[in-house]
A and B are shown apart, each in its own frame.
Chain A
Amino acid sequence: MRHPQLNANGKLQHLLTIEGLPRETIHHILDTASNFVGVSDREVKKVPLLRGKSVFNLFFENSTRTRTTFEIAAKRLSADVLNLNVNTSSTSKGESLLDTIDNLAAMHADMFVVRHASSGAPTLIAEHLNRVRAGEVNVINAGDGRHAHPTQGLLDMYTIRHFKKDFTQLRVAVVGDILHSRVARSDIHALTTLGVPEVRAIGPLTLLPTGLQEMGLKIYTDMREGLRGVDVIIMLRLQSERMRGALLPSAQEYYKHYGLTDEKLALAAPDAIVMHPGPMNRGVEIDSSVADGPQAVILDQVTFGIAVRMAVMTILASS
């Protein structure tokens, strides 16, 4: 059975997850993205690659930031963009998810960018469109539940490649709430696919899901020990609601043990970079002096994110 994100010719038709993507495909996306990085610096920030195409931003869960980056990427490719916050419209009237999709597809959408609170929702949508629209419509997963956020994973890889060049000599630490993090899952699949020899997971046992060892990770509950000698630190956002479900006692205690401070950063390799998918909770998972410090590449991630999303849209549209 082929993965629902591939078409009959084995080409990428949807981007649902990084899991299972070949290494060459990831590098192809990153190479394509590097061609787009320059576009944003031009006086006319547009290329006509998606002219005449309609991109529907379908957000079943609010996220201004991610939606905006997809909107900018689509507009720089000259596509028409429609933003829909679905949680406030049709589903509250009782329309089913797939009915909503059928209606929007009937308006000749060429591409859906989907954010949903349930793991697997974009896969359900893509499989449905494969059945009823035989590959006319592309789906990009813009984050589903705890499952995947593949464009974030790819822009993180772009960032690491930009600063570190070679993946096969790196030690990478992913720190924090991995249990609830779709970004962590996408990063982990990308890092292991790209040949990173050592990926570490750092966090309290309440925030580490089962199966991390099977995904090829080394587990650390002591952040100082886990950061020793690493080249890349990927910090994860800690949602405030985690303090309510008996997972963590308080933000203060979390910060003390798992917040990234200058003192803890000093344990990593001297040229280590610090990444964060945003939005940051300063003083919870990361200290301001680190977030604004010379080793942080957090704003570079945002800039590269536009180019990576342009690359993904272009590649899918050409399938």
Chain B
Amino acid sequence: MRLTIQNGRLIDPSAGLDQQASLHLQDGRVLAIGEAPAGFVADQMVDATGLVVAPGLVDLAARLREPGFEYRATLESEMQAALAGGVTSLSCPPDTDPPLDEPGLVEMLKHRARGLDGARLFPLGALTVGLKGEVITEMAELAEAGCIGFSAGAEVSVDTQTLLRAMQYAKTFGFTVWLQPQDPQLARGGVAHGGPVAGRLGLPGVPVIAETVALHTVFELVRATGCRVHLCRLSSAAGIELVRRAKAEGLPVSCDIAVHHLHLIDVDIGWFDSHYRVHPPFRTQRDRDAIRAAVADGTIDAICSDHTPVDDDAKLLPFSEAEPGVTGLELLLPLTLKWAQEADVPLASALSRICTAAAGILGIEAGSLQPGAVADVCLFDPSEYWVVEPGQLCSQGRHSPFLGREVVGRVRSTLVGGRVVYARAG
């Protein structure tokens, strides 16, 4: 199978490339950029006039809700949402029911995903059995089944001794441990940023120190074990400052933020709108500004969707009873572009955060359009405006604080392994 994408604006963050050029694909790989090699005859031509041709996006956190939560979303619906969002590789957290703590579960999930012929799936295994924080999982077996790292779940809900041992064990095999820095005791009962807005609304708060205390602990454990850690979903200026210092010290850490944290703050909760209930909570404008600056300067390595389909029964509730989480796969690109536009960040650097840099964290072959690279490609119209409405989304997760808002940037085609697997008429 040979395919040529012509007339597009080729952006490859892995090579700092941003130019008008054709892209030639053959047998699932990139063959050449620019002139077709001698003797190359494409079986299929794709016209990308007016479109950006970029590596397929890599999402570090998308909940697909299988196994266990099929009433919220299915692998079919969410894999389709991924392609519609230009996402060709995604990592899913282990917080399913049961959690991904056994090789059989992981194999089943990977098998199901392969059958759907969609995005490539890279599951995170549970760090402890049942995510209960007591017994470490068979990490080596899980890695063989396809896990690319190990996560403790939505908080550092593991006691410090167990976490130390889990990190020592992960280090033994060279695995990365994924931790969301939130001290569960300090965050207990909290539903919104512990600041004046929560105080005024009478909502229990999650203080910033829940993040910084957890980060201090994690960094000490990294110093002690040398284990590589990926920090998920930072939310505060103070937390980012600690990460900046840890990186300067040379600790083997990387980190991400959820894309909605680039745009929203606690004040946006308004009158208890549960669409704004997310984990970690939206914090202050100062925190958001620090997040934006840190993504631009690379302290924050990647942006993810933190895609979490929640059904109506769990979301249309009073704020503190509503389940945290919003739909995100189809908004990852437009919300990243919105930030890039507002912060005057070049398109190639912005895209790096949702493909090349994210692929580096997963340690997978993706995020590049250089000859020889896997031919996962995303074609999008950078100037198409659209209004986020439930009917416009492929995901079964229909709750988003951006409902009714206009965004810019929309995926036209998605290619996985050199084949067009998603196409939308312009």
Contacts and interface: CB of A to CB of B under 8 A. Distances in A.
Given A98-B316, A119-B272, A147 B196 contact: no
A200 interface: no
Contact of B272 (A123, A146, A209, A210): A123
A210 B318 contact: no
Given A3-B271, A4-B271, A119 B202 contact: yes
A185 B318 contact: no
Interface stretch (A43-51, A77-85, A161-169, A211-219): A211-219
B405 to A, nearest CB: 13
B272 A211 contact: no
A interface SS class: loop
A121 interface: yes
Interface string A116-145: 101111011001000000000000000011
A97 B270 contact: no
A1 interface: yes
Given A96-B313, A118-B318, A121-B318, A211 B202 contact: no
A19 interface: yes
Contacts of B197: 211
A120 B196 contact: no
Interface in B163-183: none
Q: Which of A118, A214, A215 has most B Cβ within 10 Å?
A: A118
Interface in B264-284: 270-272, 274
Interface string B282-322: 00000000000000000000000000000001001111110
Interface in B181-221: 194-205
A185 B200 contact: yes
Contacts of B196: 210-211, 214-215
A119 B320 contact: yes
Interface in B85-103: none
A153 to B, nearest CB: 13
B316 to A, nearest CB: 6
Which of A4, A96, A120, A146 neighbours the largest number of chain B CB atoms within 10 Å of its CB?
A120
B313 A124 contact: no
B199 A209 contact: yes
B111 to A, nearest CB: 35
- In the complex, which of the residues A124, A146, A148 has the most CB atoms of chain B within 10 Å of its own CB atom? A124
Interface string B321-332: 100000000000
Given A97-B317, A124-B317, A210-B194, A119 B201 contact: yes
B271 A147 contact: no
Describe B's contact surface by its main secondary structure.
loop
A215 B201 CA distance: 12
Given A119-B320, A121-B318, A210 B202 contact: no
Contact of B318 (A1, A124, A148): A124
Interface in A204-229: 209-212, 214-215
Contacts of B316: 96, 98, 124
A96 B316 CA distance: 9
B202 A145 contact: yes
B198 A210 contact: yes
A209 B271 CA distance: 19
Contacts of A16: 271
Nearest to A120: B272
A118 B319 contact: yes
B200 A215 contact: yes
Contacts of A185: 200, 202
A207 B319 CA distance: 22
A119 B200 contact: no
Nearest to A188: B200
Contact of B200 (A4, A19, A144): A19
Nearest to A213: B196
A75 interface: no
A182 interface: yes
B199 A116 contact: no
Nearest to B321: A118
A183 to B, nearest CB: 11
With a 10 A CB-CB cut-off, give which of B199, B270, B274, B313 has the most chain A CB atoms: B199
Given A3-B271, A4-B271, A211-B195, A145 B200 contact: no
Contacts of A209: 198-199
Contacts of A116: 318
B203 A119 contact: yes
A1 B270 contact: yes
Interface string A182-201: 10010000000000000000
A191 B204 CA distance: 24
B84 to A, nearest CB: 28
A1 to B, nearest CB: 7
Contacts of A144: 202, 318
B282 to A, nearest CB: 16
A105 to B, nearest CB: 16
Interface string B210-236: 000000000000000000000000000
A87 to B, nearest CB: 13
Nearest to A185: B202
A7 to B, nearest CB: 15
Contacts of A215: 196, 199-200
Contacts of B199: 209-212, 214-215
B319 A119 contact: yes
Contacts of B202: 119, 144-148, 182, 185
B108 to A, nearest CB: 31
30 contacts: A3-B271, A4-B271, A16-B271, A96-B316, A116-B318, A118-B318, A120-B203, A120-B271, A120-B318, A120-B320, A121-B318, A124-B272, A124-B274, A127-B271, A144-B318, A145-B203, A145-B320, A146-B202, A147-B202, A182-B202, A185-B202, A209-B198, A209-B199, A210-B198, A210-B199, A211-B195, A211-B197, A211-B200, A212-B199, A214-B196
Closest 5 A/B residue pairs (Cβ): A120-B272, A211-B196, A146-B202, A211-B199, A147-B202
Interface of A: 1, 3-4, 16, 19, 96-98, 116, 118-121, 123-124, 127, 144-148, 182, 185, 209-212, 214-215
Interface of B: 194-205, 270-272, 274, 313, 316-321
Given A98-B316, A120-B201, 8 more contacts: A97-B317, A97-B318, A118-B319, A120-B203, A124-B316, A127-B271, A146-B203, A147-B203
